[in-house]
Amino acid sequence: MSTTLILAMLLDGILGEPDWLWKRLPHPAVLMGRTVDWADRTFNHGRAQRQKGVIALVMLIVCWGAIAMGIAQLGIIAQVICGAILLAQRSLVDHVRAVATGLRTSVVQGRAKVAMIVGRDTGQMDGPAVSRAAIESAAENLGDGVIAPAFWFLVGGLPGIVIYKIVNTADSMIGHRTPRHEKFGWAAARLDDVLNWIPARLTAILILLSHGKPALWRGLPKEARQHRSPNAGWPESAMARILNVALSGPRAYHGKMQDFPWVHPSGIRSPGPGDIDRACDALWRTWIGMMVLAVLLLLG
């Protein structure tokens, strides 16, 4: 699968998400979202919501896994194209860099661009808060939008990456601790944590190695475990150390301030557009690191 992954990563890195195509066709991620929404509306009511959530997730995995297995039978070209579509390197870099471009125009423009990639309140953000949010999103999405899909592509081929993506999509839609989804989305949230456990740590390692700074690993695991997410703290902490920027910290969700601890608190607390640009460079360096790993596996 190493050859297929390498070709898929190259195709994604070159083309990204062409607007002309996805304005005419529904993106597979959109189709996955529709099936998750259907499962939510169909099964998330009445009693035994946790058990129903488990059954719904199994159904989604079996359905999308079967589709992937069918497509895989069409040959390597189909697998490369589908793999490239399900990777998000180029689109991630484009979205994050757009925040830096907007912020150079005005804070208002920066807020508008960062609101497209984060779930927190952005209306009262100042410039440094916009920059931190963009860098945090870059690090987290590098893990679950690039390295994790690539990892599961290596492990399980096209079915591996497709199953990962449907679980990740389900987690993003129903894996929340809300009255409606706390029980029904429990299975999606827990399985997403499991599937991201190795990739999150691999992402952190690749970030450091791609910058030639493995020594920055010291203290990183302890810091990453303080993050509210069992996995997101690893790439975020690695990115913060590479850039020497303090990330996370207090922020608002749904009008309520939450006092999250700082990641790499000794770093710069007033980052700007230039630091977002450096984060984008780190995204490409880490992408190359994953490519190198795939090549080594191919040659090994």
Quick one: average pLDDT of 167-179?
A: 94
DSSP 263: E
Strand stretches in the chain, DSSP E: 247-248, 251-253, 256-258, 262-263
- CA distances 53 to 35, 37, 63, Å, are 13, 12, 15
Does position 256 have pLDDT exceeding 80, yes or no?
no
Token pair recorded at residue 43:
């099964």
What is the pLDDT confidence band of residue 199, given thresholds at 50, 70 and 90?
Answer: very high
- What are residue 182's phi and psi, to 5 degrees? -55, -40
Enumerate residues 6+ apart whose C-beta is below 8 A from 251. Answer: 120, 121, 129, 133, 257, 258, 260
Enumerate residues 6+ apart whose C-beta is below 8 A from 246. Answer: 132, 240, 262, 263, 264, 265, 266, 267, 268, 269
Token pair recorded at residue 34:
């529709």
Q: Does residue 237 contact residue 217 with C-beta atoms inside 8 Å?
A: no
Tokens 């601790």 locate to 177
What pLDDT is recorded for position 136? 95
| Number of domains comprising the chain | 1
Strands 247-248 and 262-263: antiparallel
Task: For 137-165, write each residue's pLDDT tens digit.
Answer: 999 999 999 999 999 999 999 999 999 99
Q: What residue type is 227 in one-letter code?
A: H
Gap between the Cα atoms of 153 and 4, Å rounded? 9
Task: For 40-61, write each residue's pLDDT tens digit.
Answer: 999 999 999 999 999 999 999 9
In the beta sheet, which residues pair with residue 263? Answer: 247
Token pair recorded at residue 60:
């989604």
What is the pLDDT confidence band of residue 260, given thresholds at 50, 70 and 90?
Answer: confident
What pLDDT is recorded for position 14? 94
Of 110-114, 215-219, 248-252, the least confident: 248-252
To the nearest whole number, what is the mean pLDDT of the chain? 94
Count of all residues that appear for the chain in the document: 300
Of 17-31, 99-113, 230-244, the least confident: 17-31
Q: Which domain holds residue 147?
A: 2-299
What is the pLDDT confidence band of residue 255, given thresholds at 50, 70 and 90?
Answer: low
Task: For 94-108, write each residue's pLDDT tens digit.
Answer: 999 999 999 999 999
- CA distances 95 to 112, 113, 182, 245, 290, Å, are 11, 8, 30, 20, 21
* Ordered DSSP codes for 20-32: HHHTTS--HHHHH
pTM of the model: 0.94
Does position 179 have pLDDT exceeding 70, yes or no?
yes
DSSP 73: T
Token pair recorded at residue 91:
């689109």
Percent of the chain whose pLDDT exceeds 90: 84
Q: Of 224, 287, 246, which Cα lies nearest the Cα of 136?
A: 246
